[in-house]
Structure 1
Amino acid sequence: MRRQRRISSALAVTETARSEQLIQWLQDHGAPEQGVSIKEVVQEGNSLDVSVAARDLQAGDLALRIPDHLVITLDRVFEDESLAELLTTDKLSELACLTLYLMYEKKNGRQSVWYEFIKELDRIQGRGQMGAKSPLLWDEGQVDEYLAGSPLVAEIKERLKGIEKEYAELDTVWFMAGSLFKSYPYDVPTEAFSLKLFRQGFAAVQASVVHLQGVPLSKRFALVPLGPPLLSYSSTAKAMLTYNREAKEVQLAVDRSYTKGEPIEAWCGPQPNRRLLLNYGIVTDNNPHDKMALTVTLPHADPLFQAKRAVLQQHNLSTQQTFQLQRDKGLPDLLLPYLRLAHCRDADSLKLATLDTCCSAPISPENERTVLHQLAAHLQERLDRYKTTCEEDDEIISSSTAGPRQKVAARLLRIEKAILRGAVEETMRLIGSDRDESVQTKSSKVAVRLS
């Protein structure tokens, strides 16, 4: 996050009248004086609003204090906590309900109590602090082009399908939630809003929502004025947006000192960068939660399938098991023991397989060679799916002509490749340490699948 902390010196920063209106709106509605203001950051011709320290702050100071009545949550939307829980359990996600509420509020224009807040959300359009929107809003073809090779491509397409499915449920909610819609003399949702507009609103809400802890379910998803995406998210910050029951307000106590004008950071939770990009359009360096999934599936046709499953169940493992590869962490502890068991060809070798990492050892030179070569080939095949090299990613990131979407995509790809490359190097090291050249690796009769 060092790059973000130098933002005020590296970029041209100016105060905006729009931000003054938003803060004035908060004060007019009973909010206390805030420790943040909004600055317009101008970068390569593009402007972006960012929450910055309104004065010098020390660790522990409250930078943000938003009263409960100025925070949008589902219990406020539906005026009925049980109805909110029913709808979000059976029909729509919290994000979809909040999106629908704001879309109708927007139709009220200046008559809406949320006018200033909605105006700022419209201006931001779901862009994160790096200037990129969520990939849910990228132009056609950009996801496949910029993120080629990344498993995030499939996640984005799955999320888009989910949004489309929720859009189809909007009319049902319209008729159920009288407390929400009695104030809006408009058409039913699918006639009032197109799928495109709903997707845009959904992405904006997704980029802005705060996940509060220790509150009822109807309050756990909250839209907080001056919160994200105005507030910069960090994977390493310790400051969190929290709900203070006694004060009845959402607060942010900073975790370090800030000088006036410096962007304020809050912890984004234990989210890997692929989720940060999908949800907020950002990628943070040195994210300790970055990981790449590797799934091992044992075939049902394996003659030893039942015996292997029995052994796995004793260790609370399944015949389709997912392991997480992480940067600079080596191979997951159980990965090789699991693969050794998976590639056992007879009952005698299966007896030698152990899933206790403290005493796990190769079963036989042939088994070990099969395991390591399959793993190395799979990891290399995943690396080969990417259309760019790490060097090309670096060029995009430092380019003065590449757009924000290209740059955040390149940052993510560079991280994913580093994780996979580290796993490849560790596997090749283990292959190189096998000195028994008398054993020839045969193609395994056990079709263990890696994905």
Structure 2
Amino acid sequence: MEFTCLHNKCISPSLTVLSRVSISFSNLPKRAVSFHRRRRNLCFATLVDGKRTSEVVSKRGGEEEDEFGDLKSWMHKNGLPPCKVVLKERPSHDKKLRPIHYVAASEDLQASDVAVSVPNSLVVTLERVLGNETLAELLTTNKLSELACLALYLMYEKKQGKKSFWYPYIRELDRQRGRGQLAVESPLLWSEAELAYLTGSPTKAEVLDRADGIKREYEELDTVWFMAGSLFQQYPYDIPTEAFPFEIFKQAFVAIQSCVVHLQKVSLARRFALVPLGPPLLAYSSNCKAMLTAVDGAVELVVDRPYKAGEPIVVWCGPQPNSKLLLNYGFVDEDNPYDRIAVEAALNTEDPQYQDKRMVAQRNGKLSVQVFQVYAGKEKEAVSDILPYLRLGYVSDPSEMQSVISSQGPVCPVSPCMEQAVLDQLTVYFRTRLAGYCTSISEDELMLADPNLNPKKRVATQLVRLEKKMLNACLQAAVDLINQLPDHTMPPCPAPYAPLLK
């Protein structure tokens, strides 16, 4: 069984979509079946699975780098112009794994210097992978994400081994194993016991939901195979769901997720790109402005600050809360100005005045189920934003409701007992959320002071600690408002149709 690689043209050009017959076990003689299965087994360590390859890597890694050169050398041989960066390495927390590479300045840099400009011939996008922009857009609007298509492409490329043009890049992704700045994989690859570190955090449910989404995409992978014959005719392997077990696809998906770049002002088929010397070799930061940007014929990085030679270069990760940074990249940023938690409030659908309240809410830019974003450092403002919505839910007298309908703005008549009831509900809500965590903030800080703390537990503890700080600040803001009420002895008003908080 022979297969070819186009080497420097390994990204498939636009070809007529051909009907094809997949090679299945039933069509192969017994010896070929055995050989085919052996080949599949050898390729199970796809993109991030280091369990079977760690020993091999330690023995042969040096030989392979001598043969192919490091990633940067390979890129220079294939069109990368002179640049101002160098690959360096830091040790992994797991001594069985090789050190992690990162991109550093090769010389002193000033803000606005172009650190590196990667030609489009070394950038992987759906447009180049599939050779047809229309097909690329069709795939990504038909139950499959760009990440799934890119992951599948590199999985098949990896099966080609050293014959693949992308072998040095895939080898580098293997080395990184989807790890973030703390050498930690996304929680999507954590065990059930490790996910327990996130108990109490909404992130745990987000991880499980994302995993379910990846599973659904896996079940749609064969669509790519049949729609993109021009791409996959060069791979003499089974259809995706036969060639790759789900766990292997999941590992590849997470690896791609950790390094994909979202390019601005480009076509849909080019917006997600894999850029060698980009993430995860570039460190992410929430507090910088440097971005990988599409320019004429290349993707370039212009730095936003001075660097001394040898310092790691950082790029902006976008306005993402820490929950998304952990899920996507495996790290938490303690100084993240975009960090936030969500509070979901909903009008009670059993309320006889639900439709009127819904209309008033919409008139004031809110929904019947409204998600309020609570940003770190702005908890008091968030509580002030939530209160008018809750007060609306507490209105029970029809005449008061008519007054609200005829008024302008989100103002509701507020009696002391209603305000007491609203604030009581809010404080109970925040206390309940805090009680869902396994540790207190002081216990978290004690754990984080331990230099030997497991890295996964460290990033999980960082996340839940920051979430609890925001919840505590919200609780304190509500308690302060209760303390300002004129009569603390007044019982809260009954609320048969109180709004719901989750």
C-alpha distance in 2, partners of 1:291/1:73? 31
Measured against aligned partners, the alpha-carbon deviations of 1:258-289 in whole angstroms (never above 9, x if no partner) come to 01110100000111110010000011121111
- What is aligned with 1:273? 322
Q: Choose the corresponding residue for 1:229, options 280, 286, 291.
A: 280
C-alpha distance in 1, partners of 2:451/2:347? 48
Indicate the SS of the match to 1:412: helix
Alignment partner of 1:295 is 2:344: yes
Distance 1:359 1:338, change over 3 A: closer
- What is aligned with 1:94? 146
C-alpha distance in 1, partners of 2:435/2:381? 20
C-alpha distance in 1, partners of 2:373/2:143? 32
- What is aligned with 2:197? 146
CA contact under 8 A between 1:397 and 1:411: conserved in structure 2? yes
Alignment partner of 1:450 is 2:497: no
Alignment of 1:319-398 (within 5 A): 319-329=368-378, 330-332=380-382, 333-351=384-402, 353=404, 360=411, 363-398=414-449
C-alpha distance in 1, partners of 2:149/2:406? 45
% identity of equivalent residues:
47
- What is aligned with 2:476? 425
CA contact under 8 A between 1:334 and 1:357: conserved in structure 2? no
Distance 1:280 1:164, change over 3 A: same
Indicate the SS of the match to 1:141: helix
Alignment partner of 1:37 is 2:86: yes
Indicate the SS of the match to 1:335: helix
- What is aligned with 2:460? 409
Q: Choose the corresponding residue for 1:56, options 108, 111, 118.
A: 108
Deviates more, 1:378-387 or 1:326-335: 326-335
C-alpha distance in 2, partners of 1:355/1:278? 46
Distance 1:269 1:326, change over 3 A: same
How large is the RMSD of aligned CA atoms in angstroms?
A: 2.0
Alignment partner of 1:120 is 2:169: no
C-alpha distance in 1, partners of 2:346/2:477? 22
CA contact under 8 A between 1:304 and 1:346: conserved in structure 2? no
Q: Look up the equivalent residue of 1:62 and give its one-letter code.
A: V
Deviates more, 1:168-177 or 1:114-123: 168-177
- What is aligned with 2:486? 435
Deviates more, 1:313-322 or 1:74-83: 313-322
- What is aligned with 2:238? 187
| TM-score, L = length of structure 1 | 0.92
CA contact under 8 A between 2:343 and 2:372: conserved in structure 1? yes
Measured against aligned partners, the alpha-carbon deviations of 1:373-396 in whole angstroms (never above 9, x if no partner) come to 000100110011000111222222
Q: Look up the equivalent residue of 2:199 and give its one-letter code.
A: A
C-alpha distance in 2, partners of 1:83/1:138? 34
CA contact under 8 A between 1:339 and 1:371: conserved in structure 2? yes
Unaligned runs of 5+ in 2: 1-60
C-alpha distance in 1, partners of 2:304/2:459? 26
CA contact under 8 A between 1:65 and 1:250: conserved in structure 2? yes
Q: Look up the equivalent residue of 1:222 and give its one-letter code.
A: A
Please report how far the alpha carbon of residue 56 of structure 1 lies from its aligned counterpart in structure 2 after TM superposition: 1.1
- What is aligned with 1:106? 158
Alignment of 1:205-244 (within 5 A): 205-244=256-295
- What is aligned with 1:65? 117
CA contact under 8 A between 1:296 and 1:321: conserved in structure 2? yes
- What is aligned with 2:308? 259
C-alpha distance in 2, partners of 1:77/1:179? 10
Indicate the SS of the match to 1:90: coil
Measured against aligned partners, the alpha-carbon deviations of 1:317-343 in whole angstroms (never above 9, x if no partner) come to 221111111222114243111111111
Indicate the SS of the match to 1:303: coil
CA contact under 8 A between 1:341 and 1:354: conserved in structure 2? no
C-alpha distance in 1, partners of 2:188/2:327? 7
Measured against aligned partners, the alpha-carbon deviations of 1:113-168 in whole angstroms (never above 9, x if no partner) come to 1110000000100000111100011123211x110100001110000001111111
CA contact under 8 A between 1:134 and 1:279: conserved in structure 2? yes
Q: Look up the equivalent residue of 1:319 and give its one-letter code.
A: S
C-alpha distance in 1, partners of 2:350/2:328? 40
Q: Look up the equivalent residue of 1:382 and give its one-letter code.
A: R
Distance 1:355 1:118, change over 3 A: farther
Indicate the SS of the match to 1:164: helix
Q: Look up the equivalent residue of 1:85 and give its one-letter code.
A: E
Deviates more, 1:305-314 or 1:159-168: 305-314
Q: Look up the equivalent residue of 2:173 and give its one-letter code.
A: L
C-alpha distance in 1, partners of 2:377/2:484? 20
C-alpha distance in 2, partners of 1:84/1:400? 47
- What is aligned with 1:8? none
Distance 1:437 1:348, change over 3 A: farther
Distance 1:310 1:358, change over 3 A: closer
Unaligned runs of 5+ in 1: 1-15
| TM-score, L = length of structure 2 | 0.83
C-alpha distance in 1, partners of 2:237/2:407? 63
Indicate the SS of the match to 1:334: helix
Please report how far the alpha carbon of residue 233 of structure 1 lies from its aligned counterpart in structure 2 after TM superposition: 0.3
CA contact under 8 A between 1:331 and 1:426: conserved in structure 2? no
Please report how far the alpha carbon of residue 297 of structure 1 lies from its aligned counterpart in structure 2 after TM superposition: 1.1
CA contact under 8 A between 1:136 and 1:156: conserved in structure 2? yes
Distance 1:261 1:362, change over 3 A: farther
C-alpha distance in 1, partners of 2:153/2:407? 52
Distance 1:196 1:423, change over 3 A: same
C-alpha distance in 1, partners of 2:241/2:488? 67
CA contact under 8 A between 2:123 and 2:275: conserved in structure 1? yes
CA contact under 8 A between 1:91 and 1:173: conserved in structure 2? no
Size of the alignment, in residue pairs?
A: 433
Please report how far the alpha carbon of residue 358 of structure 1 lies from its aligned counterpart in structure 2 after TM superposition: 8.2
Alignment partner of 1:175 is 2:226: yes
C-alpha distance in 1, partners of 2:408/2:326? 35
Indicate the SS of the match to 1:252: strand
- What is aligned with 1:3? none
